[in-house]
């Protein structure tokens, strides 16, 4: 088995790692000690929940608070943790903790899983990732505890605070409050809303950007082009999303801001999305499609991909070179971004088409919203998830899996060619 794995490409090993963790998680969530007395857990629901946790999505067909025991909720939190950081990163971290060295193959896997261009300093980066994650989650849990302890006994408040902080930083919209209510009971609690948004934001910008912000001491001019793009696009999307949601929905400014942040890939909600207008759902769908940033715990096509697409279209329209923040954008960036966007659109269109066949009674907007949420590993839903049929759940599982790995990574899993030996003369083709 080990020899067979060594012959596989890094994307295949990463894909297999996620699949193995999902299957293991489904078994753990099926254990009698994981499920509350009187609750019958079907395997498809355990598999769906495990996939949603490992892919840090947050879509649920059973409510974690009403279904799982504290031990089951612990298993769920660990699946979110490992899925958010990445199976490869967690594995490398364990190897380092027991005093072993990460070999060249392991370093390549880490570089692929984190979308890092260079292999230098990867071990230091892993240490920093674990430290940053622990810091954010512990501080987030401490601040969340101030809120939850007002409504729950101390031990329950600690458990809920830790789970909420882990889910927030890893951009997974799970909660254990019960009754499918997400954070609706706390829609007016400023502290919990802001703490959750901060955890989501930093978990979504990526560890490389966090490291640069720390090392440069927030000095804008010293940041790399990638960090500037991520921070700029993320901020603009949050601001635009907040304003437009406030204009289209009957919610507070705090609620509009929260959903603008959460829609990018976290999946928490403080207002029932089933009551949102079609225009509001369309706006959230766009935010979900764009998603978080490369090297983060979030999904979507990524903010940098979206930025490169916009700059590429502007360059084509104005016949100017592609630049950003006094840097030239790499020549192949637009091509890669276009492929990712087209593959993503293809998956969403095909997934929505199939689900509309499986669920003819559902509204088209609800189906499209559910599919985009699954692909973007967001976890927001208009409330149709628990009632989906077996076929739709399996389809959603596949879409979440593809969304977590990335459409381009999935597309390369079956690529065997080592290069083209034949060259052809350039032909003519009309565009536009």
pLDDT band at 98 (very low <50, low <70, confident <90, very high): low
**Alpha-carbon 67 to chain mean position:** 24
Q: How far apart are CA 173 and CA 58, in angstroms?
A: 4
- Tokens standing for residue 263: 């829609």
- pLDDT recorded at residue 108: 63
- Roughly how many angstroms between the first and final C-alpha of the chain, as a whole number? 50
Higher-confidence residue: 6 or 28?
28
Neighbours of 336 (CB within 10 A): 13
Asked if residue 418 has pLDDT above 70, the reply is no
Predicted pLDDT at 276: 95
pLDDT value of residue 432: 67
Write down the pLDDT at residue 93.
59
- Look at residue 111 in the predicted model and tell me its pLDDT: 63
pTM: 0.90
Write the DSSP string, 68-124. Answer: B-HHHHHHHHHHHHHHHH-HHHHHHHHHHHTTPPP-HHHHHHHHHHHT-S--TTHHH
Higher-confidence residue of 299 and 101: namely 299
- Bridge partner residues of 68 (DSSP): 35
Query: Crossing angle, helix 70-85 and helix 87-97, to 10 degrees?
Result: 100
Answer whether residue 41 shows pLDDT above 60.
yes
Average pLDDT over residues 11-32: 90
pLDDT for the residue 4? 58
Q: What does the pLDDT look like over 225-271, one tens digit per residue?
A: 999 999 999 999 999 999 999 999 999 999 999 999 999 888 899 99
Q: Is the pLDDT at 19 greater than 80, yes or no? A: yes
pLDDT of residue 389: 95
**Confidence grade of residue 405 (pLDDT, cut at 50, 70, 90):** confident
Do residues 298 and 377 make contact, with C-beta atoms less than 8 angstroms apart? yes
Predicted confidence (pLDDT) per residue in 113-143, tens digit: 556 665 556 677 778 888 888 999 999 999 9
pLDDT at 210 over 60: yes
pLDDT score recorded for residue 186: 96
- Round to whole Å and give the CA distance between 426 and 19: 42
Tens-digit pLDDT profile for residues 350-400: 999 999 999 999 999 999 999 999 999 999 999 999 999 999 999 999 999
For the segment 272-285, the average pLDDT, to the nearest whole number, is 95
pLDDT, mean of residues 89-113: 60
Measure the CA angle with vertex 227, ends 209 and 378; round to 5°: 70
Residue with tokens 């065997």: 416
Taken in order 380, 399, 28, 13, is the CA torsion positive or negative? negative
Residue 88: predicted pLDDT: 56
pLDDT of res. 409: 76
The pair of three-digit structure tokens given for residue 399, joined into one six-digit string: 């879409």
* Dist CA 76 CA 53 (whole Å): 7
pLDDT of residue 390: 96
Percent of the chain clearing pLDDT 70 (strictly above)? 86
Interhelix angle 364-375/278-290, nearest 10 degrees: 20
User: Is pLDDT of 425 > 70?
Assistant: yes
Q: What is the pLDDT of residues 153-192, one digit of tens each?
A: 999 999 999 999 999 999 998 999 989 999 999 999 999 9
Q: Provide the pLDDT for residue 297.
A: 78
């Amino acid at each position: 088995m080990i020899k067979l794995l060594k012959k596989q490409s890094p994307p295949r090993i990463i894909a297999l790692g996620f699949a193995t963790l999902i299957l293991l998680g489904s078994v753990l969530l099926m254990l009698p000690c994981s499920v509350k007395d009187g609750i019958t857990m079907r395997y498809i629901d355990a598999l769906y929940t495990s996939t949603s946790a490992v892919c840090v999505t947050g879509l649920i067909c059973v409510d974690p608070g009403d279904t799982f025991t504290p031990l089951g909720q612990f298993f769920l939190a660990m699946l979110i943790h490992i899925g958010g950081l990445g199976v490869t990163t967690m594995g490398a971290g364990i190897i380092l903790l027991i005093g072993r060295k990460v070999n060249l193959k392991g370093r390549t896997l880490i570089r692929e899983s984190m979308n890092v261009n260079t292999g230098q300093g990867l071990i230091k980066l892993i240490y920093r990732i674990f430290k940053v994650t622990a810091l954010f989650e512990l501080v987030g849990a401490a601040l969340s505890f101030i809120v939850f302890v007002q409504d729950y006994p101390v031990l329950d408040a600690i458990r809920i605070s830790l789970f909420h902080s882990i889910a927030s930083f890893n951009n997974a919209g799970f909660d254990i409050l019960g009754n499918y209510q997400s954070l609706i009971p706390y829609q007016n609690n400023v502290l919990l809303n802001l703490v959750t948004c901060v955890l989501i934001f930093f978990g979504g910008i990526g560890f490389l950007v966090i490291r640069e912000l720390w090392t440069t001491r927030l000095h804008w001019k010293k940041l790399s082009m990638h960090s500037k793009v991520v921070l700029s696009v993320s901020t603009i999307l949050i601001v635009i999303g907040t304003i437009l949601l406030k204009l289209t929905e009957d919610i507070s400014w705090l609620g509009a801001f929260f959903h603008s942040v959460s829609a990018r890939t976290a999946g928490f909600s403080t207002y029932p999305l089933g009551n949102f207008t079609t225009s509001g759902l369309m706006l959230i769908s766009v935010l979900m499609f764009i998603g978080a940033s490369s090297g983060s715990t979030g999904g979507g096509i990524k903010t940098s991909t979206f930025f490169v697409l916009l700059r590429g279209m502007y360059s084509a329209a104005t016949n100017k070179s592609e630049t950003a923040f006094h840097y030239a954008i790499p020549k192949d960036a637009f091509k890669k971004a276009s492929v990712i966007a087209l593959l993503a659109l293809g998956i969403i269109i095909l997934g929505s088409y199939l689900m509309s066949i499986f669920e003819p009674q559902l509204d088209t907007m609800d189906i499209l919203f559910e599919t985009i949420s699954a692909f973007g590993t967001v976890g927001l839903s208009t409330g149709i998830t628990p009632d989906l049929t077996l076929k739709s759940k399996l389809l959603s599982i596949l879409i979440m899996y593809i969304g977590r790995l990335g459409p381009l990574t999935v597309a390369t899993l079956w690529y065997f060619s080592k290069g083209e030996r034949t060259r052809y003369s350039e032909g003519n083709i009309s565009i536009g």
